[in-house]
A and B are shown apart, each in its own frame.
Chain A
Amino acid sequence: MTVEALSDVQERLAALQAAVAGAERDQAIVAGLKDASPLVRQNAVALAARYLAPELLARFLADDEDATLRNGAQAALERQGPHAIPHLLALTRDANHELAFFAVQILSTINDVSAKQALLPLLDHPDRNLVQAAVEALGHMRAVEAVPALIRLLASDSWLQFAAASALGRIGDARAVGPLLERLDDELLAEMVIEALGRIGDADGLEPLLDRLVSSDRLPLRDQLLLAVAAILEDNPGLRGVRARARLWRPDARAGLRDYLIGLLAMHDAMLARSVGVLVVRAEMWDLMPALLQRNPDPGEESWLEGMLRRCRRRAQAELLPLLQHTDPRVRAGTLLQVPFDAGATSAVAGCLQDQDPEVRAAACLALGRLREPSAAAALAHALRSSDAREHTAAARALAQLPGESLAVLAPDLEPEAADEQRQRALTVLEQARSTMHEERVRALVHDGPPVVRQAALRVLGRYPGRATDEWIMAGLRDDELAVRIATVEILVRRRCRKAIPALIELLPGADPLRYHLVRALGRLHAKVAASRLQALYTGAPLHERIEIVVALNQIAPAGVLPFLRGVLDDPDVELRRVASDGFVRAAGPRELEAMVALARDADWVVRNHAAWGLGRLGLPAAQPHLAALARDVEPLVARTARAALGQLAADNPDVKA
């Protein structure tokens, strides 16, 4: 593509869009499917799914001359989904085996359960390519009905064996384990068989895989064995005997395995690292734990290791507590973060608060928080005053986990002479802990100190149970600082404080940025009494507030709002029309069917999406043809919404076709 060609593409795209309304629509779409530019073809596929009949598209599937057109037709049929299924099922029986092959592939992508039974007989078809496509499709659909036939195919030629093993793994039925194990030493098939056994996750597959993992030194086969072993161990948390089996490994084989596993931990592959972790913990290979714990894990990786160690907590603690003295700070921090210590380890963990490395001190704070040990409160309060952000953030999280009365240690941090930052940190702890301690001091701070402290104090009060605190929080609506007033509005909404509604309405005439938040708050509080005030405000409000007024009215859903929303639907601003259509389809009754059908033909996909949902909500059989058209919308999300609505309509009305 050249600089000039790029503008040509834009022109062809515009021409294609314009042709949709013309008499030459179908020809223009077919030409678009053959266009040299992927951008144009992509748009043509969406239009073909919407406007071309499956019969026409299927004709292009048989086109050997033009692979681009064939690919476009295939993509369009996939997007048509259920609409195309009856025709595709018929095609699977076509005398042209290539056509049948493509039909099976498309059915596989559509993944509709209704196709399973029709595909089963194809497993005995004389055309090997067609059999393979059917095997892959049934695997993709997780068709348990196909398992006996797929097991038979494991004894077929290697091409079909491979596909059958893969499909059996996807289906995950334990009947396949024995037949798959018989193929484990087949050079060509081994990798796929191992993967399938891992996917099935049945305990009977474990020992043969484990033995080969220890003895094998072939890559990437060994990686595959490790992944499969780990998958089976994770699927069977109660499975015993792994440690006993590990003790039977020859020392040289064990050393080889150890080197291999350590090598993997140095790589940045989270999946393999997790598999190493599973094996190390279940086989209790404790000498590998430093290598495992020193990794800087991805977010979420810590919790699975901790979860696994929790299942052998006592033994893990006994073996791993000495690692708190390890020379490598990454191992010390990793141990604190990932080993689920119990109360017996409190003093050893608390000792790490004096570590030279700030990462280790932060990790110690978090470990003490998990222990919920009140005796650690004073030390954590000290860490909360640290200048190191990692340390004081971790201390705040830990303190919030301690039993409520432990937070008495925060008293000095809330005193008037404490630094603002110190007061803010202490208030954050109280908020996270939902603590009501130091109530009097917190209430005083609502009026005292800089805005950040006042906001923090209000957030603490916002977590107090009961309604007694509402009045104190509402005082924040009169704060001099706009940011505090905005924060107060949000806190009141989160408390579902309906008592505040009159005060919020009273503030509406003010034209400052607070009004944007007030409007949204009244909507979220479903304040029916505010509906007329919001409608009155609409005409003179700036655009962004008008949008939020409509959203708020949608949430409040007052009686008689439909004429108002109908008026907004005529506004030229697309965002206003979008929110108005959302409200309209939620409030509309059967009388508004015609208006909904008009929305279903709107140029904007969001409005059409709302119409699809709204037509489904009405549940009228008369909506069927309109939903059927939307089910092939150029925008896949609209098509999905319409298909769901159509399915529900058919379920509720036996005479309606889905």
Chain B
Amino acid sequence: MNGPLAEEEWKLLLDLVSREFGLVFQESRRRHLEGRLTPRLQALGLESFGAYYRYLARHPDRGAELHVLARILTNNETYFFREAHHFDLLVQHVVPQLSLPARPGPLRVLSAGCSSGDEAYSIVIALQGARLDREGLSWHIDACDLNPARIVQAREGIYEAESLRACDELGRHAHFSVQGDRFRLRPEHRKGTSFFEANLAVAGLDLPGAPYHVIFCRNVLIYFSEEAFHRAISHFHRALAAGGYLFLGHAESLIGRRSDFKPVRLCDSIVYRKQDTGT
């Protein structure tokens, strides 16, 4: 007689993923996820997802495997100038509203859930494209991700053609040099960027570059549980300077969910501005 364990193993695994990373996977993605995890079972010599769960829960090498798991689970799509209007808003509306001449020090931006760095470098390219550096603006772009392999990739700055799908031919030549069938970001666009590993879903996250004037966290929170979502937004609230801006993806919204950010309509987009909670 078979026990009830197939469903149980699956739930245990999903609960662990939610607990460790704050990520949520719907039943509809089960087969997809099983397909991505099966090679790990083979690599570790494990016969079932139950054995894999126990390995992740109690094995002495669980820390290393959790890193691998994070890499597998967060291998999401990203590309340069995704939702390009956000970068226009940054240079045309947000930066001017931050009263730059009066603000001491560089503009500080965080790209949270940066994946392979496409977003962070897109910000630099946008700021340079608007010639803001020539107008005396300096910046520091911090970028973090849960996946250590993505951080390595971001630091390398080498991309497949797929990552450049929103760049026209001119943009490709202006910002990248061809390296075989891949593209290397030109060194000048790395200016002022730094990458580090961070889990947005854990309590007590320390974002070393805070306070930030702007935080980008787009198409990341859709995979978060309700609790992890609120925790991440609270991190952003703490890490933003007074009146700082938060950019979310088009499928993510704070309206009706948080009162510590005020939705602001800029052109046809909604961005969020930190509200002072009086603390």
Contacts and interface: CB of A to CB of B under 8 A. Distances in A.
B60 interface: yes
B8 A4 contact: no
Interface string A568-587: 00000101000100100010
A631 interface: no
B226 A2 contact: no
Interface residues of A, number: 39
Interface in A1-46: 1-6, 9, 38-39, 42
Contact of A1 (B12, B47, B59, B258): B258
Given A3-B260, A520-B51, A544-B59, A586 B3 contact: yes
Interface in A511-545: 516-517, 520, 524, 542-544
A489 B47 CA distance: 12
A575 B1 CA distance: 23
Contact of A3 (B1, B3, B60, B238): B238
Contacts of A544: 54-55, 58-60
A563 to B, nearest CB: 21
Nearest to A641: B4
A547 B58 contact: yes
Report, as a range, how many residues of chain B touch the other chain: 20 to 34
Interface string B138-161: 000000000000000000000000
B227 interface: yes
A105 B151 CA distance: 49
Interface stretch (B86-94, B194-202, B209-217, B229-237): B229-237
A3 B54 contact: no
B234 A617 contact: no
A224 interface: no
A618 interface: no
A149 interface: no
B45 A487 contact: yes
Contacts of A339: none
A490 interface: yes
Contact of B277 (A3, A573, A586): A3
A487 B42 CA distance: 10
A38 B57 CA distance: 29
Give the one of B1, B3, B231, B260 with max A CB within 10 A. Answer: B3
Given A1-B259, A524-B47, A582-B3, A6 B60 contact: no
Given A542-B60, A543-B58, A613 B3 contact: yes
A2 B4 contact: no
Nearest to A524: B47
A371 B259 CA distance: 64
A609 B8 contact: yes
Contact of B7 (A6, A548, A637): A637
Contacts of B1: 617
A253 to B, nearest CB: 35
Interface in A604-621: 606, 609-610, 612-613, 617
A395 B245 CA distance: 53
Contacts of B51: 520, 551
Main secondary structure of the interface of B (DSSP, over half): helix
Given A586-B3, A606-B8, A641-B4, A3 B45 contact: no
A1 B233 CA distance: 10
B11 interface: yes
Nearest to A578: B12
A138 interface: no
B103 interface: no
B277 to A, nearest CB: 5
Contacts of B8: 606, 609, 637
Contacts of B279: 3-4
A20 B5 CA distance: 28
Contacts of A610: 3-4
A486 interface: yes
A68 to B, nearest CB: 14
Contacts of A640: 7
A38 B3 CA distance: 34
A6 B231 contact: yes
Contacts of B60: 542, 544
A547 B1 CA distance: 22
A547 B59 CA distance: 10
Given A1-B258, A637-B11, A6 B234 contact: yes
Contacts of A606: 8, 12
A45 B277 CA distance: 31
Contact of B45 (A1, A486, A551, A641): A486
A487 B234 CA distance: 46
Interface in A46-89: none
B257 interface: yes
A39 B227 contact: yes
Contacts of A517: 45
A38 B5 CA distance: 30
A551 B54 contact: yes
B30 to A, nearest CB: 14
Interface string A259-286: 0000000000000000000000000000
Nearest to B45: A490
19 contacts: A1-B258, A1-B260, A2-B237, A2-B260, A3-B279, A489-B45, A520-B51, A543-B58, A544-B54, A544-B55, A544-B59, A579-B54, A582-B3, A582-B5, A586-B3, A609-B4, A610-B3, A637-B8, A640-B7
Task: Please provide the 5 A-B residue pairs with the shortest distance between their CB atoms, ordered closest to farther.
Answer: A2-B260, A544-B58, A544-B59, A613-B4, A490-B45
Interface of B: 1, 3-5, 7-8, 11-12, 45, 47, 51, 54-55, 57-60, 226-227, 230-231, 234, 237-238, 257-260, 277, 279
Interface of A: 1-6, 9, 38-39, 42, 486-487, 489-490, 493, 516-517, 520, 524, 542-544, 547-548, 551, 573, 575, 579, 582, 586, 606, 609-610, 612-613, 617, 637, 640-641
Given A516-B59, A520-B51, 19 more contacts: A1-B230, A1-B257, A1-B259, A2-B237, A2-B258, A3-B238, A3-B277, A3-B279, A5-B259, A39-B226, A42-B226, A547-B58, A551-B54, A573-B58, A575-B54, A582-B3, A617-B1, A637-B11, A640-B7
